[in-house]
Amino acid sequence: MSDTRGTVLIVDDDPAAVELLADYLTGKQLDVCRAHTLDEALAELDRERPEVALIGVRLGETGAPLEALKRLREVNVQVALLAMAAPEDAALATEALGCGAADYLLEPIDFDYLGRALDKALAAAAPVLDFAEPVLAPAVTSPQALLYTLALEVFRAMRPLTPEARASVGQALELMAMQAMQRGVSGEKAEVIRALNQVRTLIRFAHDLGDLGAEKAAELEEHVGRARRSVGLS
């Protein structure tokens, strides 16, 4: 398998769709592993350690869309997640970005776009963490991992805010943190820097408004600092 460019996990409960994608990916010199349920996906994620996972937003139709995607992100912070959705689920696909997906594709799949998304994800791939390893483990120093950690901590910090604070500052802060993470996956350094500057400004603004306590604001500032240093800023 050394002559392939990486491994992609396809997760969808439609076997025909999985095989169509598998044929395309194999032709692109990629190894493919398949899963039709969340349990199968977790097993393949552990066994094959793919760089990228393509996953349907309504896997299993459990009544909780995106749960499978969230679970994959929870157990592995390094795998690049690409969400797949029917056109009527475009809002869910966008929401997937807030759950850790690097990008999304609407069906029928645009294979040219998929190819570009895969190239970006593979180029940005970092060594896979052991499961259950803390996100802030010292060994994790790649810009992508630090940007993901920043976004995760921003979302955690925004959850306790009042509705007014979330509407005025919280949502903007979450959006900028997500943009920094997504641009990091795409390798757009200038856009990462711009988003990080916005995140820093919004953190200070939230603190000055009294929405964020000094300790939480300082903690988020530290995550911003680590992310900035990882892309060559002070």
Is 134 domain-assigned? no
Domain match, 92 and 13 both: yes
Per-residue pLDDT of the chain (234 residues; tens, 9 = 90+): 447 889 999 999 999 999 999 999 999 999 999 999 999 999 999 999 999 999 998 886 555 778 888 889 888 888 999 999 988 888 888 888 888 888 888 888 999 989 998 988 888 764 444 444 444 433 445 787 888 888 889 988 998 888 888 888 888 898 888 888 877 766 778 888 888 999 999 999 899 999 999 999 999 999 999 888 888 776
60: amino acid identity, one letter: G
Instruction: Give the CATH number, domain containing residue 169.
Output: 1.20.1440.60
Domain match, 172 and 117 both: no
Is 101 domain-assigned? yes
Domain match, 68 and 148 both: no
Cα separation of 184 and 167, whole Å?
26
Place of tokens 């400004």: 201
Instruction: Give the CATH number, domain containing residue 105.
Output: 3.40.50.2300
Domain match, 115 and 211 both: no
Domain match, 64 and 119 both: yes
Is 187 domain-assigned? yes
In this prediction the pTM is 0.55
Is the CB of residue 71 less than 8 Å from the CB of residue 101?
Answer: no
Total domains in the fold of the chain: 2
Cα separation of 141 and 178, whole Å?
18
Domain match, 173 and 106 both: no
* Residues near 38 by beta carbon (within 8 Å), at least 6 away in sequence: 11, 59, 60, 67, 68, 71
Domain match, 71 and 114 both: yes
Is 132 domain-assigned? no
Domain match, 108 and 204 both: no
Token pair listed for 141: 């120093």
Question: Residue 179: CA atoms inside 13 Å, Cβ hemisphere, count?
Answer: 16
**Is omega for the bond preceding 134 within 30 degrees of 0, making it cis?**
no
Is 47 domain-assigned? yes
Is 138 domain-assigned? no
139: amino acid identity, one letter: A
Domain match, 95 and 194 both: no
* Residues near 74 by beta carbon (within 8 Å), at least 6 away in sequence: none
Domain that includes residue 177, residue range: 143-230
Cα separation of 159 and 130, whole Å?
27
Is 69 domain-assigned? yes
DSSP string of 4-30?
SS-EEEEE-S-HHHHHHHHHHHHHTT-
Is the CB of residue 33 less than 8 Å from the CB of residue 44?
Answer: yes
Domain match, 15 and 117 both: yes
Is 109 domain-assigned? yes
Token pair listed for 199: 């995140």
